[in-house]
Each structure stands twice: as C-alpha cells, then as structure tokens.
Structure 1
C-alpha cells in the first residue's frame, strides 16, 4: 500500500487488490461517508467521470483509481482550459435531480451573521434570490478533478454534496479559481453559460464562507492572505 493524491479530505491511500489498483478512502464522519456514497452513485448515473464504488463499510469506501493529474498540475493556460472543460460536467450535474438524503443548501443568512460577528473585512453581503435546488458537488475545485491533457478524467471528493443553488456553486468554484488566476472567473462562467453579473452577485457570500472556514480551521497564513484580499476590495 502507498499514498495517493486523489482527494484532500479524509485518509486516502492506494490499495492493490488482486493486482488491481484501487483507492481506499476513510471518513470518520458518518454523514460525510454516506453523502460520498450517495453522491458517487448518483453522479455515475448521470454519466460523470467518477470512481466506481467497489465496496463500502462504515467509515471505509473502496473505489476504482481514476487516471489523470489535478487540473492545477499544469501551466496557467492549460489549467484554464481544463477548468473550462469541467464546466459542461458541472452543468450536467446541476441538471440532474439530487439523490434523496443529501444535505440542504448552506444557510447563507447564518453565514452572514457569523461573518459579521467574527469581524471579517467589510463585504456587501446581500443574498441573491435562490434558484430551485440542484445537485451540487459542494467543493468543485481544480484540486478535486483530474485531467489528461485538456480532457477531464475524474471528479473526486463528493462528501460535501448537497441540494443547493447552482449559481452559488458556480460562483464558489469560479471565484476560488480566480484567486490563483483572475482570468479563471470569466473562463469558467462563460464555459458554463451563465450570466457573469448574476454569478458575481454570489461572490461576497462565498468569500465570507471561505473566510469563516479559514478562521475556524486554518491555517493562519491562509486566513491572513484572504483577509488582505477582501480588505483591498478584491472580491468580485
């Protein structure tokens, strides 16, 4: 057995079973475990490139190992091409009915209240009118997808899947990617086929959500960097 970089949450390692290379993922939180299982099966059903579950037991999921490298293991231009290539998959996910048992959308009113109470940098925290809940991945980032060349070969780490607003998820993905390369926001939104202004309306909310995550879970240098960014007005 040896370490493998396929996902960032939980304990993940490569496992050789009868000559077949698999991935073992351990999640101590039973809710996250069950969410990953439900979401993987539903995502496979709508044709997304996801690992196939070989077996699962409480806290342990054994799945096929997917080919490719992280989207950010490349040049900036190829990364953007890969991010754009992932958007039809995200749109397909959002067009699929969420499987039963997923968590509801994040409580944005609570996020706003917690952010203000925590003393984060000033943000225009107005919650856009929500759309009908869609099947959301929950953490669509360049680290949770794999590619070979410009072709997306896998979408990983489904333990945060939920039924939520599709443009909120798109904003979270595009704004997060733009922190590495400002071009990425428009690249992703245009490839998805959404209105830039409607997506940008969500960015203060997802910025506050990320700030709270860093404030509570660290690391401190990430919080400091994001605080400087938000204080400078670089949000949308």
Structure 2
C-alpha cells in the first residue's frame, strides 16, 4: 500500500482511541530499512486536538528480528517495568485495515543522532549522567517479567552468529580467531532475562533531562544480562569519542548505577567477554551488509562502506585479546 493510501485505514484504526472523525495529518516517511517503514504524522481529533505519533509498518514479504506485535508487547511490558518507552497507541497484524503488521506509538521529542548526543551544547549538562542512566534503564529492562513476553526465544548467541558467518562463506581469519577464543573462554551462564539486543547510543531518545525513551526492540530475546551492557560498550557506538560507554561515560558509572538499581552483580571479566563478543557480532553484521551490496541484493554505497569496517573490528578484537 502506498503512503498516501494509508491515511484512511489509519484513521479507522485510531478512531477507537481518538473518536470518530479523527483525521491523519502530515503523514511522511522517515527512517527505515528493507524490513520496516517508519512514518511520522499527527492524529487530529474532531475537536481539533493534535497528537504527534509514529507508525511502524512491516513491508510485505520481509522480516528482520521479531514481529512488530512482539515489539509492541515488549514496549508495553517495558513501560510497566519502569523503562522509558513510547506509549503504544495501537497495533495489528497483516489482517488489519492497513494490510500489514503495524504499531502506532506516541512521538517522543528528543535527539537520537549519536554524534549530536555526544557534541550538542544543549546536552552538555546531562551528558556526564547518561552512562549512569543507561545502567538504571538496563536494570529495569532486565526486570521485565519473562512471562509477560512469552514469544521471546532463547538462543546461544555465540553459536548463532558463528553460523551466520559460516553461511556467508567469506574468509576472515582474524574474526575466526577471535570467535574461537570467545568459544574457549566463555563465562559461566547466568540467569536468563529479557535482553534488549540492541541497546546503544543511537537507539535512545535523549533530551536535556536525559534518556526519554528506548527504541528498536526488534532484536530482543532471552539471554545473559551482560550482553546488553557489553553491546553498549562496543567501540563502534562511541562514534569517535573516548569514554568507553556509548562515548559518554565510564564502566564504573554504568556498573555502579546498574547494580544500585537492582541489576545483578557485574563480573567485569565476563563483561569484557561480552564487549568482545559485541565487537565480533558487529563485524559479522558488517560482513552481512557488505554482502547485500556485493551480491546485488541492494546496491548501496553505505552498505559497501560497512564492508571496510570489518577490518576495523578485527583490529579491535585483536587488541582486546589478553
């Protein structure tokens, strides 16, 4: 369905929340990849009250991560657990009026672009607090009752990403060496919790008061809580800044806030393992994205440039080895 054709069925969906006569204004496409479209718009009630909203829509025949219905359930469960999350206004499957799986949520104002979060003078006062806030938010995420999101699955992340690299069949000796080290030095298993799966600078909405919302739950699963903390510390998400946590804070700030907020005690050796796993995972994702370009699946300079970053991640992995 073309964008201009979404207005009427979207109004029909939102009538339950905003009443008959609701109008859709300013529907425009924003960010989104091959699997999902993101649009901003306003729902205007019959009384003239405007509600800024976001629509996420699954494109036909393509799926990445979990379904949007799962993402909507996660955001609702996260909000109930105290995680700053956009309110879910409506959600539906492919049999809905929109003809595709969708979720409508409130639009949260703030900054999401990492380089601005790290450099904008308007965020200078809150920037030193962000690592601690991340710790508090992650502790809340890991408190989400597993029973509230029964559709989440648990998989061995190291085996899963090794299988992805094997399936591509492209030789990367340094990456393979690091994966072998990770396999031989795996830390003891911890109690499984809800893991966001992509918690990092770039998936947070930040304002002068701090973190306002956590976005992009499509990679959520059950697993080790340190996976989220390690991923946040991956060098790629520092965007050229020195501080190891998202480019804005220290390990101590993150860990102390996480534990104080009720998160499990952090084993720093295990955290280092998960950070290293995160670098390897990002390297494999870069290989995947470059392959999309090289095989002609999606010609893109951006995807091709990600292929160059594989070597950067391999260098980081080699430097992290003890």
* Structure 1 residues 114 and 51: alpha-carbon distance in aligned structure 2, compared to 1, 3 A threshold: closer
Equivalent of residue 55 in structure 1, options 80, 86, 90: 90
- Does structure 2 retain, via aligned residues, the 8 Å contact 1:189–1:195? no
Equivalent of residue 183 in structure 1, options 237, 243, 252: 243
- Does structure 2 retain, via aligned residues, the 8 Å contact 1:67–1:154? no
Count of residue correspondences: 235
Residues 24-62 of structure 1 deviation map (CA, whole Å, 9 limit, x = unaligned): 011233942122022111101112111111111221111
Residue 308 of structure 2 is aligned to residue 224 of structure 1: yes
Residue 168 of structure 2 is aligned to residue 111 of structure 1: no
- Does structure 2 retain, via aligned residues, the 8 Å contact 1:71–1:83? no
What TM-score, normalized by structure 1, do the two folds share? 0.85
Q: Distance in 1 between matches of 2:244 and 2:117?
A: 14
Q: Distance in 1 between matches of 2:238 and 2:51?
A: 38
Structure 1 stretch 220-229 or stretch 74-83: which is displaced more?
74-83
Residue 134 of structure 2 is aligned to residue 74 of structure 1: no
Aligned position for 2:248:
none
State the Cα distance separating 1:234 from its structure 2 match. 3.6
Aligned position for 2:39:
13
Equivalent of residue 40 in structure 1, options 75, 89, 99: 75
Residues 64-118 of structure 1 deviation map (CA, whole Å, 9 limit, x = unaligned): 1112112622335755532432220111111222221112244322423554764
Residue 184 of structure 2 is aligned to residue 132 of structure 1: no
Q: Once superposed, what is the RMSD of the aligned Cα atoms?
A: 2.7
Q: After the TM superposition, which parts of structure 1 deviate over 6 Å for at least 4 consecutive aligned residues?
A: none
Give the secondary-structure state (helix, strand or coil) at the position aligned to 1:102: coil
* Unmatched 5+ stretches in structure 2: 1-26, 45-49, 94-100, 246-250, 260-265, 291-302
Residue 223 of structure 2 is aligned to residue 164 of structure 1: yes
- Does structure 2 retain, via aligned residues, the 8 Å contact 1:71–1:79? no
State the Cα distance separating 1:129 from its structure 2 match. 2.1
* Structure 1 residues 220 and 130: alpha-carbon distance in aligned structure 2, compared to 1, 3 A threshold: farther
| Higher CA-based Rg | 2
Q: Distance in 2 between matches of 1:42 and 1:64?
A: 16
Q: Distance in 1 between matches of 2:77 and 2:230?
A: 23
* Structure 1 residues 228 and 4: alpha-carbon distance in aligned structure 2, compared to 1, 3 A threshold: closer
- Does structure 2 retain, via aligned residues, the 8 Å contact 1:55–1:63? yes
* Unmatched 5+ stretches in structure 1: none
Equivalent of residue 22 in structure 1, options 53, 60, 65: 53
- Does structure 2 retain, via aligned residues, the 8 Å contact 1:178–1:184? yes
Residues 121-171 of structure 1 deviation map (CA, whole Å, 9 limit, x = unaligned): 231223322211111111101111111125111111111111111012211
Give the secondary-structure state (helix, strand or coil) at the position aligned to 1:200: helix
- Does structure 2 retain, via aligned residues, the 8 Å contact 1:22–1:65? yes
* Structure 1 residues 110 and 16: alpha-carbon distance in aligned structure 2, compared to 1, 3 A threshold: closer
State the Cα distance separating 1:179 from its structure 2 match. 5.9
Q: Distance in 1 between matches of 2:304 and 2:187?
A: 30
- Does structure 2 retain, via aligned residues, the 8 Å contact 1:13–1:23? yes
Equivalent of residue 101 in structure 1, options 144, 151, 159: 151
State the Cα distance separating 1:3 from its structure 2 match. 4.2
* Structure 1 residues 114 and 148: alpha-carbon distance in aligned structure 2, compared to 1, 3 A threshold: closer
